[in-house]
Amino acid sequence: MGSLHGDLGKIAETILAAGDSIEGSYGTSDPGVSSTGFDIEHRGVPLVIESGEGNRYQVQFNYRFSNALEYDERTLRDRNALGNSPSEEQMREAYVVCLRTDLGNIAENQQELIEEVRSELSPMRSKTVALRQEIDGEMFWDGVRFYDYLYPDADSYSVHTYRDTVHAVYKEGVTGGRILAQELDEIPDETDEAVAAESDDVRSNPAFQ
């Protein structure tokens, strides 16, 4: 079995030899970190390589709904009935309310979405696991991790095996992520609905005719 530093060195060499880039590294000496690894980019897409049990390292593509959901100030104000000059604390609370609502709506279709991803990608090389996020003590489904393993101390480990594994995770992750992203289009735009309702009220009000 190779040493941790030796394994990380071999992985770093193959990352660069394969034409990928190392965007950052982390280790157990960092606060709140229980593993060691690299943040990399493969074809411009961020991936993670993280130490696991024994001598294997997990290559990850993480698709999180919370990273894709965006709320501008107007959306947060309208969806939470805030005034024109909300405080930072009110905006933070409004963001949490919106995120809880939208992740809750998405979770209703979790099984259907996961089955669609697996059907589209079948046969899959990478494995999947649900990503979750805790909000105010409650756990919400927040996307999917696509992953496979590198074994840097194996005699067969090379730039070829690195590239083969990483590209498979990248390809299936990107495709699966696109399928999951379609669910965001199904989230009702409460801001637009509120504006439409407000316009109807104006048209039906004799005072504005």
For 84, 116, 143, the CA distances from 184, given in Å and listed in that order, are 27, 15, 11
Look up the domain containing 136 and give its range: 4-199
Tokens matching residue 182? 């379609």
Identify whether 114 is part of a domain. yes
Q: What is the structure's pLDDT at 80? A: 84
pLDDT band at 31 (very low <50, low <70, confident <90, very high): low
- Condensed to tens digits (0 to 9), the pLDDT of residues 125-172 reads 999 999 999 999 999 999 999 999 999 999 999 999 999 999 999 999
Q: Is a pLDDT exceeding 90 seen at residue 119?
A: yes
Cα 150 to Cα 171: distance, rounded to the nearest angstrom: 16
Cα of 175 vs its chain's centroid, Å = 13
Identify whether 123 is part of a domain. yes
Identify whether 204 is part of a domain. no
Identify whether 118 is part of a domain. yes
Q: Is a pLDDT exceeding 70 seen at residue 40?
A: yes
CATH number at residue 20: 3.30.1460.10
- Number of independent structural domains in the chain: 1
Identify whether 43 is part of a domain. yes
Residues 6+ apart with CB under 8 A from 41: 20, 21, 23, 47
